[in-house]
Amino acid sequence: MSTPPAAREIIERLSELYGRPKLVPSGDPVTELVLTILSQNTSDRNSGRAFVQLLRRYRSWAEVMTAPEDEVAAAIAVGGLARQKAPRIQAALRAIAERSPDWDLAFLRELPLEEARRWLRSLPGVGPKTAACVLLFALGRPAMPVDTHVERVAKRLGIVPEKASAEAAHELLEAWVDPSDYYAFHMSLIKHGRRICTARAPRCGECPLADSCSAFQQGAVLTIR
């Protein structure tokens, strides 16, 4: 069985293909939270369009929170799964409004990391990925979001056991990758999962990690060369 390369080596190899990603935190945790919910099980393009439609329809998060659920679902329909995402967004916004009426979550930047993570995870519908996205992308805090692409690539490489749950994958990767590399690792694996290490018929012949990929070495993936 192949041994996966170290996290930093993975980043360096993939950076030759995709460039080295650089984190620029948005500073807006509520927006990041809503964007992450909209991004579930859809493309960035469609989730982005849904977010734009939401902003066109409503002038504030308070308006989104109090609008009829069907109306919010109609506004974000272009992103897919609107009937599921609309109530999730509204429930999360209501919980935020109860705890922080001014919608300012900047205090999460100053809380101990695990306390900030617990605060976010206590919001309805917020799991490990969504909490990590808010911490990393909005606040620049060291957290590892693990989406389907990151999880798939990590499992194929042998970093994460094949049968590990998504939550276990978060914990394993946060322990395995140096916190200073979380963003670069996350973004590099997402790009790789979308472009080469795809769910179906990955192009292993183009992969700079194939020589140390457990799945490829064992013939466990169908490839396009």
| Residues carrying an active site annotation | 129
**Torsion of Cα atoms, 56 then 59 then 63 then 65, to 10°:** 70
The per-residue b/e assignment along 74-89, b for 16 or more CB within 10 angstroms, e otherwise, is ebbbbbbbbeebbebb
Q: Are 165 and 173 in contact (CB under 8 A)?
A: no
Rounded to whole angstroms, the Cα distance separating 208 from 212 reads 9
Q: Are 29 and 105 in contact (CB under 8 A)?
A: yes
Could you tell me which of 223, 140, 154 has the C-alpha nearest to residue 185?
154
Extract the tokens encoding 186.
């996350």
Q: Is 11 exposed, middle or buried (0-12, 13-18, 19+ CB in 10 A)?
A: buried
Could you tell me which of 215, 81, 205 has the C-alpha nearest to residue 152?
215
Could you tell me which of 170, 180, 131 has the C-alpha nearest to residue 148?
170
